[in-house]
Amino acid sequence: MSEQPFRVLPAVTDDNEHFWRGGEHGELRFLRCADCGTWIHPPQPRCPSCWSTDVAPQASSGRGRILTYTINRQPWYPGLDPPYVVAIVELDDQEGLRLTTNIVNVDPDDVDFDQRVRVTFEEYPDRNGSVWLPFFEPDPGVGDVPAQEVS
Amino acid sequence: MTWTDIGERRAVVSGVGQSEVGRRIYPDPLGLTLDACIAAVEHAGLQLSDIDGLATYPGNMNQPPGFSGVGITEVHDALRLELNWFAGGLELPGQLGSVANAVAAVATGLCRHVLCFRTVWEASAQGDAGRASVTMGGGGGGGGFRASSFMQWTLPFGAPSAANWIGMMANLHFHRYGTTREQLAWIALNSRRNAEINPKAIYRTPMSMQDYLDVRMISDPLCLYDCDVPADGSTAVIISRAESAGDLARPPVRIEAIGTALRGRPSWDQFDDLTTMALRDAALMMWERTDLTAEQVHIAELYDGFSFITLAWLEAFGFCAQGEGGAFIDGGTRIAREAAQTPGSVALNTHGGQLSAGRLHGYGFLHEACVQLWGEAGERQVSVDGGPPTIGIAAAGGGPLAAAFLLRTD
């Protein structure tokens, strides 16, 4: 196995472990309100819609679209070579349920706005246990074909 | 929203001061700060013993390198001030949020004269590592740093810089409204043109459109010249009670209205409209608190940590409609020094902004607005009807951080 690119890893806590380790089970997990169904990100102890405290991790669809992105060309870290795509992805599960991520397994020049993507995890071993970084890749399994493939 | 008590009008700007500004001058940050503070007090026609309030952003902190280094306590002690009120910190509506704090303290009668300061020495502190030194946790794997709070959502994805976060916002603006690099370039070109006649500006050699288009990209669509230049320097501003006007060296700059609002989620990636950022709310609140309109504004000193932020501020203030910022700045005539007097135009970043004059981080814009309104800007002085401009905006911040000041001397 080739050496992994350098990544700053998150400090895993009881509050965010579902997000950073859900990938072990192939799941992109967010908190969800048991009373009203609202998805919550980043994690917080009450639902921002109904203020219920009955919130718990749940697997999302892991599918969504690229809200916006940038091709980073600046070498910020030794061991993480540009260019790579930084994007904000909005999940299908709820309008506004979004996260910053990388778009992988695609030429950066082939990334586009509104492109359909799906989560793909990469395990990073850490001293207190692995974390699974949720990246996104083009989603071929959905009928909504990316615009550049239509033209 | 309708406001009934415009308390900021009980406060004025009575003086400004600034240290030497430069690249890698290897300063003592406290020395720079005291230079600026003493200059501002003298400029206002006050004595240090008159100062009974102290405010700063972001307070004393060690990271990122050179971002601060001087806090309230050091300046309080070094100047042997006797204070009735003080505040320093980071969790504010942008860098000028510290000045808004001072205005509130003066308006509520907690103190009479507040010395506000902001010191950076990023050029020296970053040293030969340059901007790469700001990426916390850098330097290879196996380090002890683990990301928490907001940074945990960006650092693992190789996005440690606001260049990445603002790059995504700019890219969305380009996509949604058809904005182009050739348009955005005019923020940088206009600033360089103004910096050419600012003796304290860091970059003063002419920049052409081809220079801009040829320079290396940082995070699409932002290139190197869309990013401000780290600097060493300190800026100070004195906020005084309006009643003290008779005791001052010159007629004060009056504060017509302030905007400090953040009505969306306080986040770089969760905010509802990523093409407007918090600037939308700060600008809207400022206009809610005055009868003046954008057409009456002569000068606008608008934060340019990245050029796109300035374009977003222009739209937020209504100098043009949302999405039309690219067309508004295209060609540069509507934002040139000579545009101050033309309705529908505004003289923008008359000192060269942080892009060319140096990243004094927010305070430089308020300093420049006041210097222009006082007619003390030298060769770069903007002229309106043969005199200095009388209505100006100073605004700072980007992403979820923003504060706006509407200033007047008429």
Place of tokens 């709820």: A94
**Residue A128 domain flag:** yes
CA B247 to chain centre: 28
- Interface confidence, given as ipTM, is 0.94
**Residue A22 domain flag:** yes
Mean per-residue pLDDT, B387-410 = 97
What is residue B26's predicted lDDT score, i.e. its pLDDT?
A: 86
Q: Which amino acid is at B97?
A: G
Give pLDDT tens digits for B330-347. Answer: 999 999 999 999 999 999
What is residue B140's predicted lDDT score, i.e. its pLDDT?
A: 39
CA-to-CA distance for B153 and A20, rounded, in angstroms? 10
DSSP-derived 3-state class of residue A120:
strand
What is residue B269's predicted lDDT score, i.e. its pLDDT?
A: 96
CA-to-CA distance for B240 and B105, rounded, in angstroms? 10
Q: Which domain holds residue A118?
A: 17-140
**Residue A10 domain flag:** no
**Residue A150 domain flag:** no
Residue A142 has pLDDT above 70, yes or no: no
Percent of chain A with pLDDT over 70: 92
Residues of B in contact with A102 (CB under 8 A): 157-158
| Beta-carbon count within 10 A of A110 CB | 13
Of B125-129, B295-299, B321-325, the poorest mean pLDDT is in B125-129
Mean per-residue pLDDT, B298-325 = 98
Residue B239 has pLDDT above 60, yes or no: yes
Q: In chain A, which residues touch B (CB < 8 A)?
A: 6-13, 16, 41-42, 67-80, 84, 86-88, 96, 98-102, 113, 126, 131, 133, 135
| Beta-carbon count within 10 A of A14 CB | 7
Question: CB B141 to CB A79 under 8 A?
Answer: yes
Residue B141 has pLDDT above 70, yes or no: no
What is residue B403's predicted lDDT score, i.e. its pLDDT?
A: 98
Question: CB B219 to CB A8 under 8 A?
Answer: no
Residue A147 has pLDDT above 50, yes or no: no
What residue of A is the nearest CA neighbor of B167?
A: A70
Residue A46 has pLDDT above 60, yes or no: yes
pLDDT band, very low/low/confident/very high, at B291 (cuts 50, 70, 90): very high
pLDDT band, very low/low/confident/very high, at A2 (cuts 50, 70, 90): low
CA-to-CA distance for B305 and B213, rounded, in angstroms? 19
Residues of B in contact with A13 (CB under 8 A): 148
Selection from B51, B25, B52 nearest residue B38 by Cα: B51
Residue B138 in contact with partner chain A when CB distance is under 8 A = yes
Selection from B312, B318, B377, B7 nearest residue B170 by Cα: B312
CA A16 to chain B, closest CA, distance in angstroms equals 10
**Residue A130 domain flag:** yes
Mean per-residue pLDDT, B394-403 = 96
Mean per-residue pLDDT, B131-156 = 72
- Domain architecture of chain B: domains with CATH: 7-126+230-247 (3.40.47.10)
**Residue A12 domain flag:** no
CA-to-CA distance for B364 and B386, rounded, in angstroms? 25
CA-to-CA distance for A25 and A132, rounded, in angstroms? 10
- Token pair for B245: 């006007």
Residue B135 has pLDDT above 90, yes or no: no
**Residue A39 domain flag:** yes
Of A10, A16, A84, the CB nearest to B158: A84
Residue B294 in contact with partner chain A when CB distance is under 8 A = no
What is residue B1's predicted lDDT score, i.e. its pLDDT?
A: 85
Contact B18, B235 (CB under 8 A): yes
Mean per-residue pLDDT, B115-119 = 98
Q: Kindly list the distances between the CA atom of residue B74 and the CA atoms of A53, B56, B68, B80, B117, in Å, as whole numbers in the listed order.
A: 44, 11, 12, 10, 12
Residue A143 has pLDDT above 70, yes or no: no
Question: CB A101 to CB B217 under 8 A?
Answer: no
Label residue B383 exposed, middle or buried (CB < 10 Å: 0-12, 13-18, 19+): middle
- DSSP result, A38-91: -EESS--SS-TTT--S-EEEEE---EEEEEEEEEE-S--BTTBPSPEEEEEEEE
CA-to-CA distance for B223 and B14, rounded, in angstroms? 38
Residue ranges of B 271-290 with Cβ closer than 8 A to chain A: 272, 274
Mean per-residue pLDDT, A36-46 = 98
Residue A1 has pLDDT above 80, yes or no: no
Mean per-residue pLDDT, B85-107 = 97
What is residue B63's predicted lDDT score, i.e. its pLDDT?
A: 85
Strand pairing partners for B257? B406
Q: How many CA atoms lie within 13 A of B253 on its CB side?
A: 32
**Residue A36 domain flag:** yes
Contact B251, B245 (CB under 8 A): yes
Residue B148 in contact with partner chain A when CB distance is under 8 A = yes
Percent of chain B with pLDDT over 70: 96
Of B140, B155, B270, the CB nearest to A79: B140
Give pLDDT tens digits for A51-95. Answer: 999 999 999 999 999 999 999 999 999 999 999 999 999 999 999
Residues near A123 by Cβ (< 8 Å), separated by ≥ 6? A23, A24, A130, A131, A132
Residues near B159 by Cβ (< 8 Å), separated by ≥ 6? A72, A86, A100, B165
pTM exceeds 0.90, yes or no: yes
Contact B407, B391 (CB under 8 A): yes
How many domains, in total, are found in chain A? 1
Of A17-21, B144-148, B306-310, the poorest mean pLDDT is in B144-148
